[in-house]
Amino acid sequence: MERIIDSQLEDLKKLMLEMGGQVEKALQTATEGLLKKENKLLQEVHKFEMHINDLQIKVDNACLQVLAKQGPVAKDLRLILSIIKINTDLERMGDQCVNIAHLGRELLERGFTSSMQDIETMSTSVSKMVKGSLDSFVKMDLVAAQKILEMDDQVDFMKNKVYKDSTELMKQQPQNIQTLMDFILIARNLERLGDHATNIAEDVIFAFSGKDVRHGLND
Amino acid sequence: MERIIDSQLEDLKKLMLEMGGQVEKALQTATEGLLKKENKLLQEVHKFEMHINDLQIKVDNACLQVLAKQGPVAKDLRLILSIIKINTDLERMGDQCVNIAHLGRELLERGFTSSMQDIETMSTSVSKMVKGSLDSFVKMDLVAAQKILEMDDQVDFMKNKVYKDSTELMKQQPQNIQTLMDFILIARNLERLGDHATNIAEDVIFAFSGKDVRHGLND
């Protein structure tokens, strides 16, 4: 027999995944706008963020309702707590996509010719992490979630590379300091998106296994 | 008659405030180490962060227990949800204090003579925000929480000032690019600490009034 809470949890998951889809689109649009140097795309990112903000409040309210009316325990409760946390991460990810779009527009206004190869590599990895973390949630796939945690090292490495290369270049090309600074800040925003995807993967592991893998603990 | 949940909520609040106290100390120690150029203080910040991480897991587990065993509703439920969110903010604040300490140690190793007046002003404001947000929670003071939201604008203004002044100086003093970059990154970490204090104040307003003031909504 299906319990009332099961259909409510299904609705809740759908709402959260709609939000995740909007974050993926925001990141994709910001990155595409940046790499193709298309201001129009960068301007669109704000719309996704507004939608994400609306969904954040809906998800929180829906969680509150299920908690208050169903008094869930054990794995149902862990699932809801994970959704509450993932919700916060997704909202901040929306903010970071807006930051990237904002920095991208500054770059376009100023005009630049520097290579964005590293930013492109980084955003490809981060997109995979974001998509992968949401997929691991849908499929309750602990192995996939674990893989996201491992991918984060590569993104951190790339962020450090952008930082090191850009500060070196600043010394040789003081006229490009602003542009190189924007690259560093874009890389930092991408790295934070990766951190949030890592948080989501940790929440997936907690929701579906009960294991708390934060701070390097295994149980 | 006192309910069982009341004493459990009291314990939960105490645990969360212990964590908040550690965050205050971490920020104070990082800032003091930076301004007094004392490496020893900067090295201590990591210890606070480890304690904060331990407390984060304790707070989450305690919330899970109360939710599972007491099935709280209405204001009790809102309070627990707020604590779950504040817990996440406090943990990230610990990370940001560690970032500041790390950047500070880089600065000290390199040696520098630039003025840190703006960083000092900023960290004074941010400390007030962090302390104020935790106080507003203890005292259930909605007016005090509202004031924290207003203080955030000044911190953002200072972060932008540090960014603008430092990038200008980079052009004139390419030999100081690394130092100025560290100033920018310290200012960004301080600004994020201010953002988290703002999140805490929003959670206080939600916990004690039921009003959701995120994203500029008033109800």
Distance CA B100, CA B95 (A): 9
Q: Give the helix, strand, coil percentages of chain A, each rounded to 5.
A: 90, 0, 10
- Comparing C-alpha atoms, which of B127, B171, B138, B107 is closest to residue B26? B127
**pLDDT tens digits for chain B (219 residues)?**
678 899 999 999 999 999 999 999 999 999 999 999 999 999 999 999 999 999 999 999 999 999 999 999 999 999 999 999 999 999 999 999 999 999 999 999 999 888 999 999 999 999 999 999 999 999 999 999 999 999 999 999 999 999 999 999 999 999 999 999 999 999 999 999 999 999 999 999 999 998 999 886 444
Query: What single-letter DSSP state applies at residue A218?
Result: -
| Those residues with Cβ within 8 angstroms of residue B168's Cβ, 6 or more apart along the chain or in another chain | none
Interface contact A53-B214, CB threshold 8 A: yes
Please indicate if any CB of chain A lies within 8 Å of the CB of B170.
Answer: yes
Q: How many CB atoms lie within 10 A of CB B150?
A: 10
- A215 — pLDDT class (breaks 50, 70, 90): confident
| Cβ atoms of B111 and B104 closer than 8 Å | no
Q: What is the pLDDT of residues A115-131, one digit of tens each?
A: 999 999 999 999 999 99
CB-based contact (8 Å) between A143 and chain B?
no
Question: Distance, in angstroms, between A21 CA and closest chain B CA?
Answer: 20
Two tokens, residue B119: 């960083």
Query: Could you tell me which of B34, B170, B179, B189 has the C-alpha nearest to residue B114?
Result: B179
**Facing A68 at nearest CB: one of B77, B85, B217:** B77
d(CA A105, CA B6): 52
Question: Rounded to whole angstroms, how far apart are CA atoms A42 and A59?
Answer: 27
pLDDT of residue B215: 82
**DSSP secondary structure code for residue A37 in this structure:** T
- Rounded Cα distance between B34 and B179, Å, is 13
- Domain spans of chain B, in order of start: 4-216
Residue A153, Cα to own-chain centre: how many angstroms? 15
Supply the Cα-derived Rg of chain B in whole angstroms: 19
Tell me, yes or no, if B68 comes closer than 8 A to chain A by beta carbon: yes
Number of other CB atoms surrounding residue B116 within 10 Å: 19
- Please check whether residue B152 is in contact with residue B194, taking contact to mean a CB–CB distance below 8 angstroms: yes
Residue A177 has pLDDT above 60, yes or no: yes
Q: What is the DSSP letter of A174?
A: G
pLDDT single digits (tens) A183-206: 999 999 999 999 999 999 999 999
Q: Do residues B186 and B103 touch, judged by C-beta distance below 8 A?
A: yes
Looking at the complex, does the CB of residue B218 fall below 8 Å from at least one CB of chain A? Answer: no
Residues of B whose CB is below 8 A from A184 = 181
DSSP B22-35: HHHHHHHHHHHHHH
Question: Are A53 and B85 a contacting pair at CB < 8 A?
Answer: no
Reading the block at residue B35, the tokens are: 């301004």
B214 Ramachandran zone, left/alpha/beta (phi>0; psi -120 to 50)? beta
- pLDDT value at position B12? 95
Distance CA B97, CA B190 (A): 8
Q: Say if residue A1's pLDDT is above 90.
A: no
Kindly report the average pLDDT of chain A as a whole number.
Answer: 95
ipTM comes to 0.93
* Nearest CA-CA distance, residue B175 and chain A, Å: 7
**Confidence (pLDDT) at B1:** 67
pTM for the model = 0.95
Residues A57, B214: contact at Cβ < 8 Å? Answer: yes
Residues of B in contact with A73 (CB under 8 A): 68
Statement: A4-216 belongs to CATH 1.20.58.220: yes
Q: What pLDDT is attached to residue A153?
A: 96
Q: Is the pLDDT assigned to residue A218 strictly greater than 60?
A: no
Contacts of B200 in chain A (CB under 8 A): none
Q: What is the 3-state secondary structure (H, E, C) of A83-135?
A: HHHHHHHHHHHHHHHHHHHHHHHHHHHHCCCCCCHHHHHHHHHHHHHHHHHHH
Over the stretch A146-156, which tens digit does the pLDDT of each residue have?
999 999 999 99
The residues, any chain, with a CB within 8 Å of residue B113's CB and separated by 6 or more, are: none
Residue B200 touches chain A, beta carbons under 8 Å: no
Residue A219 has pLDDT above 90, yes or no: no
